[in-house]
Amino acid sequence: MASSLEDVQTTDLMSELLRRMKCASKPDKRLILIGPPGSGKGTQSPIIKDEYCLCHLATGDMLRAAVAAKTPLGIKAKEAMNKGELVSDDLVVGIIDEAMKKPSCQKGFILDGFPRTVVQAEKLDEMLDKRGAKIDKVLNFAIDDAILEERITGRWIHASSGRSYHTKFAPPKAPGVDDVTGEPLMQRKDDTAEVLKSRLEAFHRQTEPVIDYYVKKGVVAHLPAEKPPKEVTSEVQKVLSS
């Protein structure tokens, strides 16, 4: 560990130190972002993560990485994902339980795309009970289905970082190329109008009951997710600072 730190540039070490000092004064937060495909969860998560020094745990990103690496988990998940169906509860519960142990989750986390079934929500409660913790807020990205096809079919992503762009709403500086690395962008296999129908069906049937589960606990904030990204960010900030 020490030898690898010696190889890190002083400026990088200093900026990490400053970031950690700033983070020490932030309140702990355990958040869930819930909403249909394309509602903006992945767009808002990095902003909230940086503001509150949380870790961003996106089950979709983790599963796509496992599929790309052809791990046993990825092999099991691939077929359901390509069809726009949910993968089994056991697979995702296991990866979240493991991921929450990361040091970057010390001040809390953003769960993006999890829990997606009531069974997953109950398992999450069990995991948090064991840690003596609870969910502080569930942000419900409320939006009409009709808006989502244009968002989903126009999305391009940088596979290794998860950075997401949109040909119309958030274009990269140069077409088809990641702003930070200059590497080519790609489209997700499930980002077609056809697969979107199954993903929305899964959302309404299996995930909407999760919103009710948390409404009963009094922790849900409803966000107008059809607004432009910056306005959604302001709404998120209002909810999280209240």
Q: Report the interface residues with ligand AP5, using CB under 6 A.
A: 35, 37-43, 59-60, 63, 80-81, 84-87, 92, 113-114, 116, 120, 151, 155, 164, 166, 169-170, 190, 199, 228-229, 232
Least Å from the CB of residue 90 to ligand AP5: 10
To ligand AP5, the closest distance from the beta carbon of 101 in angstroms equals 18
How much of the chain is helix, strand and coil, in % rounded to 5?
50, 15, 35
Sign for the CA dihedral angle at 191, 116, 35, 59 comes to negative
Q: Which one of 30, 123, 137, 199 is the catalytic residue?
A: 199
As measured in angstroms, the least distance from the Cβ of 229 to ligand AP5 is 4
Comparison of 22 and 197: residue with beta carbon closer to ligand AP5: 197
State the minimum distance, in angstroms, from the CB of residue 37 to ligand AP5. 3
- Our CB check for ligand AP5 shows the closer of 30 and 41 to be 41
Q: Does residue 87 contact residue 140 with C-beta atoms inside 8 Å?
A: no
Residue among 30 and 155 whose Cβ is closer to ligand AP5: 155
**Residue from 29, 64, 78, 155 carrying the catalytic annotation:** 155
Give the amino acid at 44: Q
Give dist(CA 65, CA 108) in Å, integer.
23
Q: Is 64 an active-site residue?
A: no
Decide: 127 and 120 in contact? Cβ < 8 Å.
no
Give the span between the Cα atoms of 230 and 237, in whole angstroms: 11
Q: Which is nearer to ligand AP5, 134 or 189 (CB)?
A: 189
83 annotated active-site: no
Is 41 tagged catalytic? yes
What single letter denotes the amino acid at residue 62? M
- Tell me the helices (H) and strands (E) count for the chain, helix number first: 11, 7
**Is 151 part of the annotated catalytic residue set?**
no
Measured from the CB atom, the residue of 23 and 150 that comes closer to ligand AP5 is 150
Cα separation, 116 vs 113, whole angstroms: 6
> What residue is closest to ligand AP5 based on CB?
60
Active site residue 199: yes
CB of 19 to ligand AP5, least distance (A): 24
Could you tell me how far CA 7 lies from the centroid of its own chain? Answer: 31
Q: Is 144 helix (H, G, I), strand (E, B) or coil?
A: coil
Catalytic residue set: 41, 116, 155, 188, 199
